[in-house]
Structure formats: C-alpha cells, structure tokens
Structure 1
C-alpha cells in the first residue's frame, strides 16, 4: 500500500541510520541523562542479558514434544524478535555510556555482547549469536569514537571472525583437493577395469 500522508516510505529506513555524534554540551547531559543512565544501566543490562539467555532459538525437546508446529514457529519468531530488541538496547546503551563517560557501564555492555557471541568458545553458534557478532562489529564501524577502551572486544571479535574465515577457506580448499583426488582415483579404477575387460 501507499505510505500515509505526510510520511515517506523511506522513514523506517531513516530511523535505522541514526548516529550518535558528539556535540557541544548543553548541560542537559550532566543534569538529566547521566544520572538517569547511572541508575538504570545495571538493571537494563540484567534485563537484556536474561532475555538473550532465555530467548534460545533452539527449542528444547520437552517443548517440542508437546507443541504444535505453529507454536514452535511462533516461539522461534518471538525469540528472534526478543533478541533483536535486546541487541538494539545493547547498542543504544553502549553509545549512551560512551556519551556520558561511564566507562564501567560501556565495558560491561560490550563484554556481555562479546560473551553472547560465543566467539572463541568452540560452541555451536545460532543465529542470535551471529547477530551479536554483527552488532559488535557494527558498533566498531559506526560508533567507534564512543567505544574507548572497549575496542579490545571489537578487535577480538574481528580477529576470531578472521580466524574462522581462514579456517573455512582452508577446509574448503582441502575439500576441493579431496574431491579432485577422489575423481582421479575413480578415473584410474575405471581405466584399470576397462583394461582388464579388454584383456579378458
């Protein structure tokens, strides 16, 4: 359908491109924003973390035994939506902490985000874990000036992603080499069988 009058179709897209930038301090940050953030960042981190941990995309066998396909699909969709809300909250909290100069809060949020990515743990990653990695890397790209000492987590994630990519490329190269060797072996066996057939 058409966009409502006064609203363009590009409005939702523009909302996602909002950036935090440093501006001249108006005094409102120190008077209102910083005290409110100092009080709320801990509970917000706990809420986001709990939601990320409980929003497991892989539904357990006990629920799978009693839930219908529609219910399973709804549960998976709800988990994905909850993860997206949490990741948005993480990103906004990290940026707000950077703007307010709250290094402890910023470090806590970035560290939690890195932990939820499961990078370097050897555990199987689900979609929400990949989204954590993407959010962490996007923070480095878009809001790097607000990260301060928390850059180390972004670099660690980037390093792990590069390692996984190199590992994937090595495995793909080995798979191609193994497939080529198997093809050569198959051809040799076919040629040998053909020679034996002719000799007989």
Structure 2
C-alpha cells in the first residue's frame, strides 16, 4: 500500500519558512508564525522537520542552494579575478535590496548580527560565511597564479576585505540602501584592488 501522502508541498513550505526566518530571524519567528507562513498545522511541521532548530538548518541549506548561485556564481565570470570580484559585488548590489520575492540582505550575513543561536545553527551559518571566504580566496589565488596580481599580494587579507565589503553591503541593503547606492560602494571598493596595471 502506498504511504500516506504529505499534507503539504515540502519544498514550498521550506521556502516559506526560509523567507520568514530571513525577515525575522530565528528567535523572533514563532512556531505559530511558521505554521501560518508554511500553511501547515503544528503536527505536520514537527513530523516533517522535527524541531524549529532542524527547520532552520533546512532553511539555511535551502537558502544557500537557491539564493547563493545567482550572486556567487558571478565570481567565476569574467576574464580576470578582478572582473570576477567586481561582477560579484555589482551583482550583489542588484540582488541584495528587497524585492517582491525576497527580503533585503543576505540571510547568512544578517543572522550573524541579529540572533543568539543554538550551537548547531551558529556552526551552520559560520560554515556558510567561511565558504564565501573560501570562494573569494580561491578566485584570488587563481588570479595571483595567472599574474593578475602583484606577487606580494596578501591573498588572505584581500579575500577578507572583499568579503567584508559584501557583508557590509548586505547590512546596508537591510537598512534600505538602493541598488545605485550599493553599486557606488562596490565601485569604490574596486579602487582598492592592488597594483596599477593588474586589471
């Protein structure tokens, strides 16, 4: 006999939970809020996700897989590392502000400054941010190997600098910065690219 069908579309419910957590944070999003947003009753939510903590972990994974690529895939675009970093920041300027379909900012960045987390969630969100740093580091190391950066470039420092710019843009977007304002910040950050003639 076929198993009993779920009462809801799990992916749609997870998307709704993710958007609520993104807007309100972990603590402020109550179970009542989550059930209402997801269109499920409490027993169905617990049957599918076990706990609020487990639901958040699933939501942040969904966020990374769904909302990460439109921004971070841009880092690999462009003929040089500089072009890739600029593509990332300009793309972020367009995507980070609030839209009809998503809240402003970056869920993984905003979570770092707005909540007290259970340990498992703190680890998961930190891992997402470390992955961002690793992506930047890998792109810059490739640029260094290709002669696009001065030999003395501190890749770790430069990676952290541009991640700091991205994270700052996410917070400014949450505060209402416009795409034009964020593009200006992105362009200003590119002035710090080391070495004249390495563009």
Q: Which TM-score applies when normalising by structure 1?
A: 0.35
Q: Which TM-score applies when normalising by structure 2?
A: 0.35
